[in-house]
Amino acid sequence: MMIDELDAKIDRYLPDAGFLEISARLSATAPDPKFSDEKYAESAEFRNRSTPELHSQFSMAKGGTITVTIDVPSRVCNTGQTAENQSVIDYIRDRISRLQQIRAAALGVNGNSKSAPALEAAIVSYNSSLPGHQIEYWLCRPSGVTIQEGEVAFFTAYRNSVDAARAAHATLFDSAENQLGKLKSAIEKIDAARREFETQTRPNPGIRPIENAIQEANDELNTLLTFDFGVWRIPQHDLRAQAFWAKAKAVRDSLTAKSQISELDRLRNEYAENSLYTPVPGAFVQTVPGMNLFDAASMNTGDYSWFIVSSRMLSALNSIFSAFIQENEPWGFSIESGYRNPARNILVGGVANSRHVFGDAADLNAMDYNKNGQVDSQDLARLKGHVDAQGFDFIQPKTYTIHVQFNGGLGS
């Protein structure tokens, strides 16, 4: 089974994609070094200097201002504390570097961008490099101060990267929404072209404008499908992407439905291409209406299941056949040619404005009424006698058939 391209885009954002909850915290775990060990031992009063979270969640939503107060401790770090604090400093620098990569990639997204793979990769890299545990440091000099200063730098980098990523997010979706709008406009052109095709009778534009509009819409759809929002694992982005592709799929399905060129469309197009009066769709039938002695197989000698038959032609043919039945001639006559579509009419050598193409003409075959083993002039004359009583506008006897037609009416 062929996988629907839009379904595949939507499925990328199913809930099991597992949005990451990013959290890592720097906090001092030692008692406030400004208190002596003795004082600390005597009193439970101390400050656990917990800094704000480095990042509660890499979010596309605007957040508040985070202020870090830098406290200069009195205690100097020992060798072990310095080494542990250095690992925290390295961590902060790595986070800042990754945030700068996010910002740089985000700034590369512009109105011509249909995807942002570098930005997606930078965000994924940032998310996947979390330590997964609370980060602790020693509040001592000088590295404890360096860490606090690093936090300030981190929050600045974080804010800048989020602002840039948010702008890139908006740019991508604005461009995609604009492209979706172009697709909708192209579909409206299909509707407009079809309205003209189905309502105009002379001249009729034919199906070419519809086909051109369908092609334009498919081109716009193909352009839309080149967009790739990526999976950032940021809910505001990924859920919007999922909703967008669901909306795009509904529009695509509308295009699919409106792109169908039916058998009746092709039949009516023959009239338009031959500069004939083009009957509206409702003028065509697939079965003979009402109670009649003739069915569609008898009346329709065209190339389609759709045809036209005038009510006056049906009435006249029923009257002729009924007259033969009353004369004990149950076979009456056969119809050599009834309705013809324009292409069929040209193929058999019919005149350009033949009443056959409007269901107002028929060629009737005489039968061997005198039972002499052949259809002769006497048989033809007998058929013509009944034909003459129907008020046809034109009657043309031939060797074995009689052409009958009504003038005026549809297509005149």
Q: Which of 61-65, 115-119, 350-354 has the highest mean pLDDT?
A: 115-119
Same domain, 106 and 207: no
Give per-residue burial for 27-53: e unless 16+ CB within 10 Å, then b.
ebebbbbebeeeebeeeeeeeebebeb
**Mean pLDDT, to the nearest integer, of 257-271?**
97
In a domain, 410, yes or no: no
Same domain, 34 and 150: yes
Same domain, 101 and 200: no
| C-alpha span between 175 and 158 (Å, rounded) | 26
- Name every residue whose Cβ is closer than 8 Å to that of residue 25 and which is 6 or more positions away in sequence: 50, 51, 53, 54, 134, 135
In a domain, 412, yes or no: no
Same domain, 148 and 203: no
In a domain, 353, yes or no: yes
Give the model's confidence band at 296: pLDDT under 50 very low, under 70 low, under 90 confident, else very high: very high
Give the model's confidence band at 284: pLDDT under 50 very low, under 70 low, under 90 confident, else very high: very high
Q: What is the pLDDT of residue 226?
A: 96
In a domain, 290, yes or no: yes
Q: What is the pLDDT of residue 70?
A: 65
| C-alpha span between 331 and 368 (Å, rounded) | 10
| C-alpha span between 186 and 173 (Å, rounded) | 20
Give the model's confidence band at 341: pLDDT under 50 very low, under 70 low, under 90 confident, else very high: very high
Same domain, 146 and 28: yes
Report how many domains make up the chain.
3
Same domain, 35 and 152: yes
Closest by alpha carbon to 229, among 217, 246, 215? 246
Element of type H or E holding 98: helix 79-107
Lookup result for tokens 């512009």: 110
Domain limits at 160? 12-170
Residue where a domain stops, chosen among 266, 290, 306: 266
Task: Inform me whether the pLDDT recorded for 80 exceeds 80.
Answer: yes
The three-state (H, E, C) secondary structure of 202-268, written as one string: CCCCCCHHHHHHHHHHHHHHHHHCCCECCCCCCHHHHHHHHHHHHHHHHHHHHHHHHCCCCHHHHHH
Q: Encode pLDDT of 27-38 as tens digits.
A: 444 443 433 444
Q: Which residue has the higher pLDDT, 349 or 78?
A: 349
What's the whole-number average pLDDT of the chain?
Answer: 84
CATH number, domain at 315? 3.30.1380
In a domain, 271, yes or no: no
Same domain, 160 and 26: yes
Task: Inform me whether the pLDDT recorded for 151 exceeds 60.
Answer: yes
Task: Inform me whether the pLDDT recorded for 47 exceeds 50.
Answer: no
- Name every residue whose Cβ is closer than 8 Å to that of residue 342 and which is 6 or more positions away in sequence: 270, 271, 273, 274, 276, 357
Same domain, 145 and 126: yes
Residue where a domain stops, chosen among 170, 205, 236: 170
Same domain, 179 and 262: yes
Give the model's confidence band at 127: pLDDT under 50 very low, under 70 low, under 90 confident, else very high: confident
Same domain, 331 and 260: no
Element of type H or E holding 401: strand 401-405
Six-digit token string for 164: 């840039």
**Mean pLDDT, to the nearest integer, of 181-197?**
98
Task: Inform me whether the pLDDT recorded for 290 exceeds 50.
Answer: yes
In a domain, 152, yes or no: yes
Residue where a domain stops, chosen among 170, 203, 232: 170
Task: Inform me whether the pLDDT recorded for 338 exceeds 50.
Answer: yes
Computed from CA positions of residues 236, 242, 244, 247, in that sequence, does the dihedral angle turn out positive or negative? negative
Q: What is the pLDDT of residue 328?
A: 92
User: Percentage of the chain with pLDDT > 70?
Assistant: 83
DSSP of 136-180: EE---BTHHHHHHHHHHHHHHHHHHHHHHHHHHHHHHHHHHHHHH
Same domain, 79 and 162: yes
In a domain, 305, yes or no: yes
Q: Which of 2-11, 40-49, 226-235, 253-262 has the highest mean pLDDT?
A: 253-262
Q: What is the pLDDT of residue 323?
A: 95
Give the model's confidence band at 71: pLDDT under 50 very low, under 70 low, under 90 confident, else very high: low
Closest by alpha carbon to 267, among 350, 354, 358, 343? 343
Q: What is the pLDDT of residue 69?
A: 58
In a domain, 39, yes or no: yes
Kind of pairing between the strands at 135-137 and 26-28: parallel
Same domain, 161 and 17: yes
